[in-house]
Amino acid sequence: MMMEKIAPRSRFWLAGAALSALLVAGVPLGAYAATPADTLVEGFAIDDIISMDPAEAFEISTAEVTGNTYSLLVRLDLADTSKVKGDLAESWTISDDGLTYTFKLRPGVKFASGNPLTAADVAWSFERAVKLDKSPAFILTQFGLTPDNVTEKAKATDDATFVFTVDKPYAPSFVLNCLSATVGAVVDKKLVSEHLKAMTPSDDYKYDNDFGNEWLKTHSAGSGVFTLREWRANEAVVMDRNDNYYGEKAKLARVIYRHMKESSGQRLALVAGDIDVARNLGPNDLDAIAKNEDIVTTSAPKGTVYYISLNQKNKDLAKPEVRQAFKYLIDYDAIGATLIKGIGEIHQTFLPKGVLGELDENPYKLDVAKAKELLEKAGLKDGFSVTMDVRNTQPVTGIAESFQQTAGQAGVKIEIIPGDGKQTLTKYRARNHDIYIGQWGQDYFDPNSNAQTFASNPDNADTGKVATLAWRNAWDIPELSKQTEAALLEKDSAKRAEMYRNLQKEVLDTGPFAIIFQQIEVAGIRKNLKGFKLGPSFDTNFVGQISKD
């Protein structure tokens, strides 16, 4: 009886042993796995994607996908990013009162689905973005569009003419720059209409369908150079070539973004040839691949700046001398040479490079003596203690530690409170911090995006509805807010640029923000790749022109 019991188990062990032998023997001495010749494979951390619907998407990786799968009326002119050029719009005119923009569409354009693209599609795309009212909708609604008037203010007068009416005589550069944001992507009305989800109208949502929002979360309905084939959350995004694209067709048939979080893993896969491009390489891995003959790197400054901000609710931090002293307590040189090497460059003004009105001035250097002098003037000769909320990722942790150390030299004791990103952000948005280290990416490629957040605070009350960064740090600046507002209405681009330069000087001088660096996006690419280029923004990281040898 015992025998009978032992026997089946022995068989199990035996089977197991055999299987493990198979596991070992079955593993071949594999050759390098090259990616298929017609497919581009990128290693990319894509866990920020929430939705592929251009009316909803506002994330970095999504911008790249929608930028390649949709066309817009106008796009940034990559040759001079302070201007735009026509994409679907062949030409446009602006009325003398500066309120009406009339766009003539390129004839004969088709969506990826084969449906003809008309001005009615453009109007409907604006309508659904405004009515859905998701995160990026404000880029359109800031021109006075409301759910009630959007069909009047953004309408097709014939198949090839789209008329857009704004509520104030804004600077044309402002209006056009905003229309180059992905929220203005033109969606295939006919295709999406087949996938509407019925909704029950309520106080919060007044319409009987979802404008295809749910379907578009995982599908594309555009006329870009690619179409979205599949998005598997935290695994991959796959795009196929759009053979109906109006311009030059994509050279490769397919692009795959593989979700890879780790810089070191991306580096290994890049070297082995399992991916063609590595998108999230840290400074160490960039160094390591610099010597590899099969790999080159390419980079482009992006519209994100990193800054340390001082909450003006804190009495010590509210003193003008303290604000300025802190700007002298950051070791910019050391940070630039180590912590952000290859992924950022020192930049102390709030407009990133490449934007209209950029100001390339970095007057601050680490100067402990000067900072001490300023602190003494503020009556804080012996320093003081203060907390700093830091989310636990690099490079901000490293920068915070560096700052903690240099500030200590002037007697300022900084207690770092580490936290998860969402956690520190929640505290920051509630204005409960002392010092916060954060980053700000522009919402659209126009100086107003950053000017508004750094230099405008219309209502500094705790109940204030416009939660700009100036508001989050309780910086009450009625005068600067007015100037920011005025810059929006300046028709002359050169004068407008000058106004932003003045705003930047003011913030640089007196603001509670010590802006440290502008992000550079770097990619490691295999040498057989031709035409890979990073754009000035994430929605201009185009992949259509890429080919392989």
| Residues numbered 347-386 forming contacts with another protein, rule: CB under 8 A | none
Residue closer to another protein, measured from CB, 262 or 498:
262
The least CB distance from residue 13 to another protein, in Å, is 8
The least CB distance from residue 57 to another protein, in Å, is 10
Residue closer to another protein, measured from CB, 36 or 320:
36
Instruction: Give the other-Cβ count within 10 Å of 329's Cβ.
Output: 27
221 CA to centre of own chain? 22
As to burial, measured by CB atoms within 10 angstroms (0-12 exposed, 13-18 middle, 19+ buried), residue 221 is: buried
Residue closer to another protein, measured from CB, 295 or 330:
295
Residue closer to another protein, measured from CB, 93 or 463:
463
Contact between 471 and 484 (Cβ < 8 Å): no
As to burial, measured by CB atoms within 10 angstroms (0-12 exposed, 13-18 middle, 19+ buried), residue 335 is: buried
Instruction: Give the other-Cβ count within 10 Å of 218's Cβ.
Output: 14
Residues 108-167 that bind another protein (CB under 8 A): 133-138
Nearest one of 371, 304, 329, 365 to 517, comparing CA atoms: 304
Segment near another protein (CB under 8 A); pick from 83-91, 245-253, 426-434, 539-547: 426-434
Which DSSP symbol is given to 335? I
Longest dimension (CA), the chain: 101
Residue closer to another protein, measured from CB, 266 or 348:
266
| 479: amino acid identity, one letter | E
The least CB distance from residue 284 to another protein, in Å, is 12
The least CB distance from residue 502 to another protein, in Å, is 26
How many helices and strands in the chain, by DSSP H and E? 19, 19
The least CB distance from residue 20 to another protein, in Å, is 5
The least CB distance from residue 62 to another protein, in Å, is 10
80: three-class secondary structure by DSSP: coil
Residues 460-489 that bind another protein (CB under 8 A): 465-467
E strand segments, 171-235: 226-232
The least CB distance from residue 230 to another protein, in Å, is 9
Residue closer to another protein, measured from CB, 163 or 305:
305
| 278: amino acid identity, one letter | A
Contact between 342 and 286 (Cβ < 8 Å): yes
The least CB distance from residue 3 to another protein, in Å, is 6
Contact between 339 and 399 (Cβ < 8 Å): yes
Q: How far apart are CA 100 and CA 155, in angstroms?
A: 11
Site for another protein (CB under 8 A): how many residues?
Answer: 71
Residue closer to another protein, measured from CB, 336 or 441:
441
Tell which one of 100, 165, 218, 387 touches another protein (CB under 8 A): 218
Residue closer to another protein, measured from CB, 234 or 338:
234
Tell which one of 209, 425, 483, 506 touches another protein (CB under 8 A): 425
As to burial, measured by CB atoms within 10 angstroms (0-12 exposed, 13-18 middle, 19+ buried), residue 204 is: exposed
Nearest one of 84, 525, 101 to 275, comparing CA atoms: 525
Tell which one of 235, 287, 294, 509 touches another protein (CB under 8 A): 235
Tell which one of 85, 106, 190, 217 touches another protein (CB under 8 A): 217
The least CB distance from residue 423 to another protein, in Å, is 5
* Tokens (6 digits) for 399: 């920068």
Q: How far apart are CA 139 and CA 145, in angstroms?
A: 10
Nearest one of 504, 418, 400, 389 to 455, comparing CA atoms: 504
Q: How far apart are the first and last CA of the chain?
A: 69
Residues 185-204 that bind another protein (CB under 8 A): 204
The least CB distance from residue 419 to another protein, in Å, is 8
Question: Given the DSSP bridges, would you call strands 154-158 and 161-165 parallel, antiparallel or unpaired?
Answer: antiparallel
Residue closer to another protein, measured from CB, 291 or 465:
465
Residue closer to another protein, measured from CB, 404 or 452:
452
Tell which one of 429, 482, 495, 527 touches another protein (CB under 8 A): 429
Tell which one of 58, 246, 328, 500 touches another protein (CB under 8 A): 58
The least CB distance from residue 41 to another protein, in Å, is 5
Q: How far apart are CA 543 and CA 534, in angstroms?
A: 9
Residues 242-281 that bind another protein (CB under 8 A): 256, 258-262, 264-265, 268-269, 271-272, 274-275
Q: Lay out the site mask for another protein across 13-52 (x = CB under 8 A, - = otherwise).
A: x--xx-xx--x--xxxxxxxx-xx--x-x-x---xx-xx-
Residue closer to another protein, measured from CB, 75 or 267:
267
The string of DSSP codes covering 46-77 is: -TT-----TTT--SHHHHHHHHHH---SEEE-
Tell which one of 106, 427, 431, 501 touches another protein (CB under 8 A): 427
Residue closer to another protein, measured from CB, 230 or 361:
230
195: three-class secondary structure by DSSP: coil
Q: How far apart are CA 457 and CA 467, in angstroms?
A: 8
E strand segments, 25-147: 39-44, 74-76, 84-86, 89-94, 100-105
The least CB distance from residue 224 to another protein, in Å, is 21
Tell which one of 160, 236, 300, 346 touches another protein (CB under 8 A): 236
Segment near another protein (CB under 8 A); pick from 187-195, 418-426, 491-499, 507-515: 418-426
Residue closer to another protein, measured from CB, 77 or 148:
148
Contact between 225 and 249 (Cβ < 8 Å): yes
Asked if 306 interacts with another protein (CB under 8 A), we say no
